[in-house]
């Protein structure tokens, strides 16, 4: 199949990947755009994984105040160099992460950051709900684990569907950004303020 410029352009717009990467991905999967997106994601994940151990000492602290001044987010995102931290692309990524946090129930960056007491309490509630189904104990544990994954998807930033493209997780967006910029990027921490909440 011939890879047309319009097909490459469409893939670039949908993924944010470079022109040559898009062209190679399309050639690899015979012009199937959905398979090309998967191919690029896999490449991005591999590139991101190779940079994961690199130290991040630069970055930005960004504040986002939602219209109406009732909700605000303060977020720290780190990268390897000051040069990248000052780029518009990096700052836009940080702004999007702050908006994601403002729009969702994000409470932690990663699963490991979730309070173990909260997880234990949720597991207990889910187990009680599952027992009402009358299924055997072995199946109950699988049901609880599946529901716990949904719980994490709700409160863990990296596991949430991205607000502007629910087919992608925030982790996919982060991996794509790492692959594109060529530096390790870490969402270090955030805090959300809402009027009247502790």
Burial grade of 112 (CB within 10 A; 0-12, 13-18, 19 or more): exposed
Sheet holding 186-194, edge to edge: 58-65, 71-79, 186-194
58 bridge partner residues:
79
Q: What global pTM score does this model have?
A: 0.69
For residue 160, pLDDT over 90 is answered with: yes
For residue 46, pLDDT over 60 is answered with: no
Task: Tell me the CATH architecture of domain 5-51.
Answer: Orthogonal Bundle (1.10)
Give residue 179's pLDDT: 85
What residue segments make up the domains of the chain, in order of their start? Answer: 5-51, 58-109+156-194, 115-154
Give residue 52's pLDDT: 61
- The domain made up of 115-154 has a fold known as GTP Cyclohydrolase I; Chain A, domain 1 (1.10.286)
Give tens-digit pLDDT for 91-141: 999 999 999 999 999 999 999 999 999 999 998 888 888 887 777 777 888
Which tops the pLDDT comparison, 69 or 130?
A: 69
Distance CA 158, CA 195 (A): 25
- The domain made up of 58-109+156-194 has a fold known as Tetrahydropterin Synthase; Chain A (3.30.479)
**DSSP string over 38-67:** HHHHHHHHHHHHHHTTS---EEEEEEEE-T
């Amino acid at each position: 199949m011939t890879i047309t410029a319009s097909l490459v352009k469409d893939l670039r717009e949908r993924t944010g990947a470079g022109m040559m990467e898009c062209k190679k991905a399309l050639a690899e999967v015979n012009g199937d755009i959905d398979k090309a997106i998967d191919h690029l994601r896999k490449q991005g994940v591999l590139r991101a994984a190779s940079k994961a151990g690199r130290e991040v000492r630069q970055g930005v602290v960004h504040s986002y105040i939602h219209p109406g001044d009732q909700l605000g987010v303060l977020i720290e995102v780190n990268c390897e160099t000051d040069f990248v931290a000052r780029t518009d692309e990096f700052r836009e990524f940080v702004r999007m992460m702050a908006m994601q946090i403002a729009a969702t129930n994000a409470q932690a960056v990663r699963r490991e950051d979730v309070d173990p007491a909260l997880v234990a309490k949720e597991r207990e509630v889910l187990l009680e709900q599952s027992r009402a189904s009358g299924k055997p104990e072995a199946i109950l544990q699988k049901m609880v684990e599946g529901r716990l994954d949904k719980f994490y998807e709700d409160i863990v930033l990296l596991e949430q569907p991205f607000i502007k493209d629910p087919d992608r997780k925030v982790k996919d967006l982060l991996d794509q950004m790492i692959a594109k910029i060529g530096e390790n990027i870490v969402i270090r921490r955030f805090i959300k303020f809402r009027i009247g909440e502790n």
